[in-house]
Structures are given as C-alpha cells and as structure tokens.
C-alpha cells in the first residue's frame, strides 16, 4: 500500500527532518546492557507507545570488500520477520533493497502500512547519484510501519556542508516525519575522516533536526535516528561528542547508534549477529515515545 508524499522545498533542510517517501518507492549513551526484546508491534505507535528500531548497514553496493552477493539483504529480511521492528534504518543499500525490506515489514504485520524514503549518496565531482554495481542508486533509507492507512508522512533529505575532500562520495541524511509523532531518520557519515564524521553528526542533530520548523503543538518534533555514524564507541572522538544536551543513544559496540531526542527513552537494546553477510552487526533498540 502506498503512502502519498508531501514534499518540502527542494534543497531545504527542514527541521521536521523530512525526505522523498512512498511506501512502494524502490530504494537504497549510554544504556549498553543487552536485552532480548520480543513480540512488539511493528507500527510506529507500537505496544505501550514504544517503537522498535532496527539499524542495519548492509554493505550491498557490490563494490566494497564486505559485499556478500546480496546475502545481507536476505539476512535482513530474516531479522525483520523475527523481531518485527516498527522502524528500519538502512545504510549502504541499493534502491531495490528498500522494496525487499518494505515487503518483509508488511509480511511481518499485514495490518500496518509501511512508508519508506531513500536518499542516494552523491558523487563529489559530478553531483550524480552514486551507483551500485548493478546500476541502481546507492545510499541510505528509512522505513516506518504506520499504525493506520490514513496517517500522513512527509519526507526530505540533504547532503552535508562539510564533506571529506579525500572521499569521492558525498554523504547524505534522510528522514520521514510522522506529524504529532516523531521524525525517523538515518545517515551514514564519513568513513574516511572521524573529524568530518563528527562535524556531519553535529550538523544533523544540532542544525537540521533542531529548528523551530520541527515544532508540534507540544513542542519540538521528537527524533529517532538510526545510523552508522562512523564514530567508534569509546573512541576519540566518539558519538557522545556530537549529541546535543538531553539526547540519548545506544550503540552496537562499534560504529552504529540509535539516538533519541529529549523526552524519549531507550528502554532496551540488542546486538544482532548478521552471520557474516555484512561487516556490521544489526542494532535493535526499543524506544519509548512517552516514557513515564
């Protein structure tokens, strides 16, 4: 089932953190104690107003050494069916990979409508989308299970004003905004320069996602970010260095994080074995949208 998009002005990084969305649109802190969350609704509201977030870097371009012939997508489908996330954030995927994961989310919860958005990485020289080996656009995506078919979702994306001059790939961010609910976002920051990765993370959290345009009737729109920040847990700089006051996060022990804005809480997390299909584990986190 498709969800109609409402696009913001091109090139504008609105604080609602919004990107081109459509349920059928094809694509590509702490709290470290592990847990084993099970049987949660994959809708954005979730059971007890909790959303289950699954962060994955699938390394599926076909070019990088970590590529495993598409097995990472197959494994991701298994994880989605087992854990039934309400939000999935994806890095290093091709456009059609998003359709496959969207179908998996729908199969896991037939009553939910799945919305998705994809943003291609850009070539620094030409500005054209980076391509997977199969010719599809390569980039990042976010998917959200909506509680009801009539829920509107808005999307937007952008690239960073700071890029690593030694990297041919311009890094991007992408979000889906569920009005009066939360903004679901993802990004894959620079893998070649930690200082650039830190600057990109700070720009996203402090500039893009924290402007008055993201305000709701209750205040600023809450944000849930699943991402490969390329800032090593416990490293220098580490991911805590890019978090504005009141933000919280959890990580996979490596470079992936789930980050939430003030007023939200991460109640549990699990690191998932991707069985050698990609060079990153999966990161699963339960986020309470209105913690008591």
pLDDT of residue 36: 36
SS3 content of the chain, % helix, strand, coil (to 5): 15, 35, 50
Angle between helices 95-108 and 71-83 (to 10 degrees): 30
- Look up the CATH number of the domain holding residue 211: 3.60.10.10
Within-domain flag for 262: yes
Residue environment code for 5-22, b if the CB has 16+ CB neighbours within 10 A, otherwise e: beebeeeebbbbbbbbbb
pLDDT digits (tens, 9 = 90+) for 160-180: 999 999 999 999 999 999 887
pLDDT of residue 211: 60
Within-domain flag for 77: yes
pLDDT of residue 44: 53
* pTM of the predicted protein model: 0.83
pLDDT of residue 3: 32
Can the peptide bond before residue 237 be classed as cis, meaning omega within 30 degrees of 0? yes
CA torsion angle for 93, 247, 253, 108 (degrees, to 10)?
-50
> Tens digit of pLDDT per residue, the chain (292 long)?
323 233 333 333 333 333 333 333 333 333 333 333 333 444 554 445 899 999 999 999 999 999 999 999 999 999 999 999 999 999 999 999 999 999 999 999 887 889 999 999 999 999 999 999 999 999 999 999 986 666 778 899 999 999 999 999 999 999 999 887 899 999 999 999 999 999 999 999 999 998 644 445 456 789 999 999 999 999 999 999 999 999 999 999 999 999 999 999 999 999 999 999 999 999 999 999 987 6
Within-domain flag for 39: no
Distance of alpha carbon 104 from alpha carbon 124, whole angstroms: 33
Closest CA to 76 of 95, 62, 90, 96: 90
Backbone angles phi and psi of 98, in degrees to 5: -65, -40
pLDDT of residue 110: 84
Within-domain flag for 151: yes
Within-domain flag for 44: no
pLDDT digits (tens, 9 = 90+) for 197-250: 999 999 999 999 986 444 454 567 899 999 999 999 999 999 999 999 999 999
Look at the chain and report how many structural domains it folds into.
Answer: 1
Within-domain flag for 19: no
pLDDT of residue 63: 95
Within-domain flag for 126: yes
- CB-count exposure of residue 121 (10 Å: 0-12, 13-18, 19+): buried
pLDDT of residue 6: 32
**Which residues form the domain of 210?**
50-288
Backbone angles phi and psi of 83, in degrees to 5: -105, -15
Within-domain flag for 233: yes
Distance of alpha carbon 262 from alpha carbon 275, whole angstroms: 34
């Amino acid at each position: 089932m498709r969800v109609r998009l409402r696009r913001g002005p091109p090139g504008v990084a609105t604080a609602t953190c919004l990107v081109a969305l459509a349920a059928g649109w094809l694509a590509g802190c702490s709290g470290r104690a592990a847990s084993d969350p099970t049987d949660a609704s994959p809708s954005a509201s979730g059971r007890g107003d909790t959303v289950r977030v699954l962060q994955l870097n699938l390394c599926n371009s076909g070019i990088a050494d970590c590529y495993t012939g598409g097995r990472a997508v197959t494994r991701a489908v298994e994880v989605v069916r087992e854990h039934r996330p309400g939000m999935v954030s994806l890095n290093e995927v091709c456009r059609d990979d998003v359709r496959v994961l969207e179908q998996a989310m729908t199969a896991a919860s037939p009553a939910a409508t799945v919305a998705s958005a994809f943003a291609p990485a850009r070539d620094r020289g030409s500005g054209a989308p980076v391509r997977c080996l199969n010719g599809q656009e390569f980039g990042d995506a976010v998917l959200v299970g909506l509680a009801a078919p009539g829920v509107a979702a808005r999307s937007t994306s952008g690239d960073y004003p700071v890029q690593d001059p030694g990297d041919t790939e311009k890094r991007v961010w992408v979000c889906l905004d569920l009005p009066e609910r939360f903004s679901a976002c993802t990004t894959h920051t620079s893998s070649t320069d930690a200082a650039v990765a830190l600057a990109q993370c700070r720009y996203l959290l402090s500039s893009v996602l924290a402007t008055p345009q993201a305000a709701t009737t209750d205040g600023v729109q809450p944000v849930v970010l699943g991402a490969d920040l390329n800032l090593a847990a416990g490293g220098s700089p580490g991911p805590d260095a890019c978090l504005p006051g009141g933000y919280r996060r959890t990580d996979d022990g490596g470079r992936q994080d789930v980050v939430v804005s003030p007023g939200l809480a991460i109640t549990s997390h699990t690191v998932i074995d991707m069985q050698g299909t990609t060079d990153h584990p999966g990161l699963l986190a339960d986020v309470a949208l209105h913690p008591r």
